[in-house]
Amino acid sequence: MTQMIAHRGTVESVNEKHVSVRITQLAACSVCAAQKLCKSSDSKEKLIDIVSADAASFSVGEEVILTGKLSLGLQAVLLAYIVPLILLVAVLFVSIDALDSEPLAALTAIATLAVYYGFLYLMRDKLSRKFSFTIKHIKEIL
């Protein structure tokens, strides 16, 4: 059984096949009794664009549930943080050895990251299809 991420949200707008949903992302410690005394608990509002064939069945102001696979979240962290870190360190060490110039090696490593993130930007349409949420009416869940 795949683990799922679920967020409760409110529909902000509905277009042809797009539904914009506002969610409140809470910190993990937001359910703690001492959260008012602690400075680490926070929340952020985010607007999520969902592509759905039945977008017309949703209305502005309606409460909905957004679900996604946990494994996709882990893959996103891998692509956004882990791969660039490994790439940066690997290119830096290889460049230092090959170029005998630390400033030039550092610039080469940073340029490699720019190319990597540029590649991710060019692949954004394909990635957005892979990393997507599913929207459901709350009444379907209850």
pLDDT tens digits for range 87-136: 999 999 999 999 989 999 999 999 999 999 999 999 988 888 787 788 88
Domain encompassing residue 130: 4-141
CA dist 105 and 111 (Å) reads 10
Q: Between 35 and 140, whose confidence is greater?
A: 140
Whether the pLDDT of residue 11 is over 80: the answer is yes
Whether the pLDDT of residue 30 is over 60: the answer is no
Count of the separate structural domains present in the chain: 1
DSSP state string for 51-103: E-TTGGG--TT-EEEEEEEHHHHHHHHIIIIIHHHHHHHHHHHHHHHHHS-HH
Arithmetic mean of pLDDT over the chain: 84
Q: What share of the chain is helix, strand, coil (3-state, %, to 5)?
A: 50, 30, 25
Site of tokens 């110039």: 101
Side chain identity, residue 103: P
* Of 38-52, 69-83, 104-118, highest mean pLDDT: 104-118
Q: What is the pLDDT of residue 1?
A: 47
| pTM value > 0.85 | no
The length of the chain is 142
CB 65 within 8 A of CB 138: yes
